[in-house]
Amino acid sequence: MDRPEIPLAQLYAFVVLAEELHFGHAAARLGIAQPPLSQQIRRLEDKVGHALFSRGPGRIALTPAGRELLPAARHALTGLADGLAAAREAGSGRSGSLRIGFAASLALTVLPGLLRTFRTRFPAVRLDIQEMTTTPQLAALRERTIDVGLLREPPADDPELDFATVLTEPFVAVLPSAHPLARQRTVRVDQLADSPFVLLPRAVGPPLYDRIADLCATAGFAPRVVQHAVEWQTVCALVETGLGVSLAPESVRRIRLKGVAYRGIQPGAPRTRVAVAWRGDDRNPLVSRLLEVLGPGAENGP
Among 30, 63, 91, give the residue marking a domain's end. Answer: 91
Q: State whether 265 and 282 are in the same domain.
A: no
Determine contact, residues 226/250, Cβ cutoff 8 Å: no
Q: Kindly give, in sequence order, each residue whose CB lies less than 8 Å from that of residue 123, ignoring residues fewer than 6 positions away.
A: none
Q: Which residues contact 276 (CB under 8 A, 6 or more apart)?
A: 148, 149, 150, 163, 164, 166, 290, 291, 294, 298
Domain edge (last residue) among 91, 121, 137? 91
Cα–Cα distance, 142 to 84 (Å, whole number): 31
On whether both 58 and 78 belong to a single domain, the answer is: yes
Q: Dmax of the chain from CA atoms? A: 105
User: 2 lies in a domain?
Assistant: no
pLDDT tens-place string over residues 112-122: 989 999 989 88
pLDDT in tens, 11-42: 888 888 888 888 888 889 988 888 888 898 89
Tell me how many domains the chain contains: 3
User: Per the domain annotation, does 3 fall within a domain?
Assistant: no
Tens-digit pLDDT profile for residues 259-289: 999 999 987 667 888 999 999 888 788 898 8
Question: Considering the entire predicted model, what is its pTM?
Answer: 0.63
d(CA 46, CA 95): 40
Residues 188 and 68 in one domain: no
Q: Is residue 117 part of a domain?
A: yes
Structural domain of residue 33, as residue ranges? Answer: 8-91
As a whole number of angstroms, the distance between CA 37 and CA 32 comes to 7
CB 229 within 8 A of CB 200: yes
> Are residues 100 and 78 part of one domain?
no
pLDDT tens-digit map of 152-211: 888 877 888 999 999 889 999 999 999 999 999 999 999 999 999 999 999 888 888 999
Q: Are residue 102 and residue 219 in the same domain, yes or no?
A: no
Q: Are residues 101 and 84 part of one domain?
A: no
DSSP 214: H
CA atoms within 13 A of residue 162's CA, in its CB half-sphere? 17
Pair 12, 77 in one domain:
yes
What CATH number corresponds to the domain at position 156? 3.40.190.10
What residues pair up with 227 in beta bridges, in sequence order? 198
Could you tell me the CATH number of the domain that includes residue 52? 1.10.10.10
